Amino acid sequence: EVLALLVLMSPLLWGLALQLHSAVTGSYIPGTHSIALVTCLNEQIARDIARAIMDKKLAAYVNILPKSSALCTPGSLHPFTSPLGFVLFFCSPQLVKTRTSKIGELSDYVRSIHPFEMPDIVSLPIQQGNPLYLRWIGENVPRD
């Protein structure tokens, strides 16, 4: 009982226990991988950033979505302001599939090459998905 309690209380031991359980059972550990959303001003910038991310092996897959419109408050994400109290601009969003452990490095790298002073980069952990696809992400993004 004491050993089980220690494993449950220690984040490092808990993580190792989950990895061992996953390896033995072949099950997916929710949150192992993430999707990062990155907004780019246009499709060319999105392509350039996606290529740079892939060259650095920070992701297994990057979707560049069709151009969309976005609203934000003045001065927050986009350099243009509107007299109406918000900013309307067009963007090419990206969905970047990677390991959750790479999100910090991915975010730092994108900030270093993105033309915006404060680029829109957020991530969400993947809770479930096609096990073969999730395994493929893990095989194509090196561990830390």
CATH number where 136 lies: 3.30.70.120
Domain that holds residue 89: 31-140
Q: Are residues 41 and 87 in the same domain?
A: yes
Both structure tokens of 94: 């990206």
Which residue would you say has higher pLDDT here, 26 or 62? 62
Q: Are residues 71 and 113 in the same domain?
A: yes
**How many other CB atoms sit within 10 Å of the CB of residue 96?**
27
- Check residue 114 and give its pLDDT: 95
- Check residue 20 and give its pLDDT: 72
Both structure tokens of 118: 């404060």
Which residue would you say has higher pLDDT here, 125 or 17? 125
Contacts for 70-77: CB closer than 8 Å, 24+ residues apart = 70/39, 76/118, 77/39, 77/116, 77/118, 77/119, 77/120
Report CA-CA distances (Å) from 44 to 1, 112, 126. 57, 17, 27
The identity of residue 72, as a single letter, is C
What's the total number of domains in the chain?
2
Q: Are residues 24 and 35 in the same domain?
A: no
**pLDDT score of 13 more than 90:** no
Q: Where are the alpha helices (DSSP H) in the chain?
A: 2-9, 11-25, 43-55, 103-113, 131-140
**pLDDT score of 121 more than 90:** yes
Band of the pLDDT at 39, cuts 50, 70, 90? Answer: very high
pTM for the predicted model, two decimal places: 0.77
- Check residue 68 and give its pLDDT: 83
Q: Are residues 9 and 43 in the same domain?
A: no
Q: Are residues 86 and 60 in the same domain?
A: yes
- Check residue 4 and give its pLDDT: 60
Q: Are residues 56 and 105 in the same domain?
A: yes
Residue pLDDT, tens place only, 60-117: 999 999 888 776 766 555 555 555 556 667 788 999 999 999 999 999 999 999 998 8
Q: Are residues 40 and 14 in the same domain?
A: no
Q: Are residues 12 and 60 in the same domain?
A: no
Q: Are residues 46 and 4 in the same domain?
A: no
- Check residue 7 and give its pLDDT: 54
Minimal CA–CA distance to 89: which of 124, 142, 42? 42
Q: How far apart are CA 76 and CA 81, in angstroms?
A: 10
**pLDDT score of 53 more than 80:** yes
Q: Are residues 47 and 10 in the same domain?
A: no
- Check residue 90 and give its pLDDT: 74
Both structure tokens of 100: 């959750």
- Check residue 129 and give its pLDDT: 92
Please check whether residue 80 is in contact with residue 118, taking contact to mean a CB–CB distance below 8 angstroms.
no
